[in-house]
Amino acid sequence: MQIPLNHFVQYIDETILNRGYSYYKNKHVYELEELSAGKFSAIVEGTQDYTVQLTINNGIITEHVCDCPYDMGPVCKHIAAVIFYLQQDELELNKRTKRLKTNQASEPVKRKSVARQIDELLEKTTHEELKQFIRQNVSANTAFRNLFLSSFAQHNSDESIELYAKQVKSVLRTASDRHGFIDWSASRFVGNAIGTLLDSAQKQINKQNYRSAFYISAAVMEQMTAALQYSDDSNGDIGGSIDAAYEILNSISQEKISEEIRQLIIEYCFLVLDKQIYAGWHWHIDILRLAAQLIKTEDETEQIIQQIDKAQQSDYEIKEAQRIKYYVLLKTKGDAAAEIYLEQNITNYKLRREAIERSLKNKNYEKAISFAKDGVNFDLKDRPGLAAEWVDWLLKIAQAQNDSEKIIEYARLLFIGHFRNEQDYYQILKQHIKPDAWNTFIESVIQDIATKNRWLDKDLIASIFIKEEWWDRLLELVKKSPDLITIDHYEKHLSKQYTDEIVELYAAGILKYMENSMGRDHYKNACRYIRKIIKLGSRDKANEIISHLRKLYPKRKALMQELNNV
């Protein structure tokens, strides 16, 4: 979310703003630094110290990141606190808190940035002083040592997967408790440390040093997969690191790598597949897919097919392995062999999708229709969502053939079924039904929807009324289910023409809602709808409801407090 610096209070939740202001006011923001032009970093003291980073461009906060665990919204209280700190002079916060104006907000901008300070120190520091600094810190600081070793990996004659595995293990040891377990908070530390290591791998790719990037990523994948057995990874930091490491390996395979590097990676793939290092995890299939991308020789092709045939433990593995085998056959044996395999395993929905798409592309409409119809029959009972996809493919085939009758048949079926949103089925129908026949046609559609008696039918019929601008019918539909959520949802379509009716519906809905609702959250919700009535210009009706609620529930103190705030 981008936030205008001068209007940030309008973009951040009120509760978060209040908490952020409290942190700022109580001087929990410190070490604000301008790292480079428009890039700021600060420490915010909370249950522990959290680092906030902001990027400001032309008065807009374009990036905001905090390493706290808050994930209930785009901005946490620590970010809000730093923004208050930056804007303290603009908001005259120093005057409000009766403190002398310290001009703190402008100080970080006026003084030298961290980047400039570092550049000046590097110019003045001797080569020997730098070497001595590095020697001291690689001994005392594990994170710095790992970063140094991985950043200059290309100069290390002992470089190997094992070398980086030791670095990963040292991070895991640091994070584990006396029983060897890594709890969820320590997992975040691990994720950050390994993230730094993987950043160095990416830099090695940028230098075309693919060997080092491979060693780092392979070590991370192996050690972090093992760590999942003794970690609480509810944050996803460890699993996310493995995914990131695999993506680096995959990106290497997309580069113009030497034959030596290709062989290094594919031999590693076959080794870990044989050892079942990633068995039971989706990374096993990922490694299989990586090897399939790199095969060149007949021996490699034979090995990958053997691994594919072994890697079929779960339903997921079976489908993914079959898909990989199809691409291997396509790559090594040609279209004919791949097509035979495709048709032999057509019950695999991923291969069915491929078969339909290929047939449609080749204008082999009969075969495409056959695959799609067979899919509908095969999946209709147990997987109706997939059956709907095959109907959508039948629609696409009819569109390719310009078959209006079939287009109407399938679009109508998909619209009434309310399945998928691959295409705008309503608009397709309107394009293919003659204008003088449209009203009769759409009334029959409404009738068919209504007879199905599903929970979603009301919204589907309402969508027709909205598209056709049949506001009177939409109002009658809302009156049949006048709960507050429904009224709120359709208010924007009805309030201009039927203001009084909507107000009455809200009033009745609020009173009905309060019959079975207790607790401050429910009272706040009821008051939110009372405010909607006020916004619709009916202050008198709002006052009437408030008065009625006071008489009905005089002993509910929390309700009285919330009503006072309306």
| Confidence at residue 88, expressed as pLDDT on a 0 to 100 scale | 86
| Confidence at residue 275, expressed as pLDDT on a 0 to 100 scale | 93
Q: Which residue's structure tokens are 């309060």?
A: 514
| Confidence at residue 314, expressed as pLDDT on a 0 to 100 scale | 84
| Confidence at residue 106, expressed as pLDDT on a 0 to 100 scale | 38
Please report which residue ranges of 418-538 form alpha helices under DSSP H.
425-432, 435-452, 457-468, 471-480, 484-494, 499-515, 520-535
| Confidence at residue 486, expressed as pLDDT on a 0 to 100 scale | 93
Rounded Cα gap, residues 219 and 169, in angstroms:
10
| Confidence at residue 154, expressed as pLDDT on a 0 to 100 scale | 56
Q: Which residue's structure tokens are 């299939």?
A: 285
Please report which residue ranges of 97-160 form alpha helices under DSSP H.
107-110, 114-124, 127-140, 142-151
- Cα–chain-centroid distance for residue 544? 45
Bridge-based pairing state of the strands 29-36 and 60-66: unpaired
SS (H, E, C) 364-410: CHHHHHHHHHHHHHHHCCCCHHHHHHHHHHHHHHHHHHCCHHHHHHH
Q: How many CB atoms lie within 10 A of CB 457?
A: 17
Query: Do the Cβ atoms of 421 and 399 come closer than 8 Å?
Result: no
The pair of structure tokens assigned to 14 is 């009120």
At residue 388, φ and ψ (nearest 5 deg) are: -65, -35
If residue 43 lies in a helix (H) or strand (E), which one and from where to where? strand 39-45
SS (H, E, C) 119-132: HHHHHHCCHHHHHH
| Confidence at residue 104, expressed as pLDDT on a 0 to 100 scale | 42
Query: Do the Cβ atoms of 210 and 251 come closer than 8 Å?
Result: no
Rounded Cα gap, residues 448 and 438, in angstroms:
15
Rounded Cα gap, residues 86 and 34, in angstroms:
11
Rounded Cα gap, residues 294 and 399, in angstroms:
38
| Confidence at residue 101, expressed as pLDDT on a 0 to 100 scale | 39
- CA distance readout (Å), 530 to 498, 537, 538: 17, 11, 10
Among 36, 26, 24, 35, smallest CA distance to 86 is for 24
The pair of structure tokens assigned to 411 is 């679009």
| Confidence at residue 105, expressed as pLDDT on a 0 to 100 scale | 40
Query: Do the Cβ atoms of 511 and 548 come closer than 8 Å?
Result: yes
Contacts of 408 (CB under 8 A, 6+ apart): 429, 432, 433
Largest distance between two CA atoms of the chain: 89
Bridge-based pairing state of the strands 29-36 and 3-4: unpaired
Among 537, 487, 548, smallest CA distance to 515 is for 548
Beta strands across the sheet bearing 39-45:
3-4, 60-66, 49-57, 39-45, 29-36
- Cα–chain-centroid distance for residue 491? 30
| Confidence at residue 421, expressed as pLDDT on a 0 to 100 scale | 67
Show pLDDT as tens, one digit a residue, over the chain (566 residues): 789 898 898 889 888 999 999 999 988 998 788 888 889 999 998 878 889 999 999 889 998 988 887 877 789 999 999 999 998 887 766 655 444 333 444 344 444 556 677 778 888 888 888 888 888 887 777 667 766 766 675 566 578 999 999 989 989 998 899 899 999 889 988 998 999 899 999 999 999 999 999 999 999 999 999 999 999 999 899 999 999 999 999 999 999 999 999 999 999 999 999 999 998 899 999 999 999 999 999 999 999 999 998 876 788 889 999 999 999 999 999 989 999 999 999 999 999 999 999 999 999 999 999 999 999 999 999 998 899 999 999 999 999 999 999 999 999 999 998 766 678 999 999 999 999 999 999 999 999 998 887 777 889 999 999 999 999 999 999 999 889 999 999 999 999 999 999 999 999 999 999 988 888 889 999 999 999 999 998 999 999 999 999 999 998 999 999 998 88
At residue 233, φ and ψ (nearest 5 deg) are: -105, 35
Bridge-based pairing state of the strands 39-45 and 60-66: unpaired
Produce one character per residue of 284-319: b if its CB has 16 or more CB atoms within 10 Å, e if not. bbbbbbbbbbbbeeeebbebbbebbeebeeeeebeb
First to last CA, the chain: 30
Rounded Cα gap, residues 408 and 391, in angstroms:
12
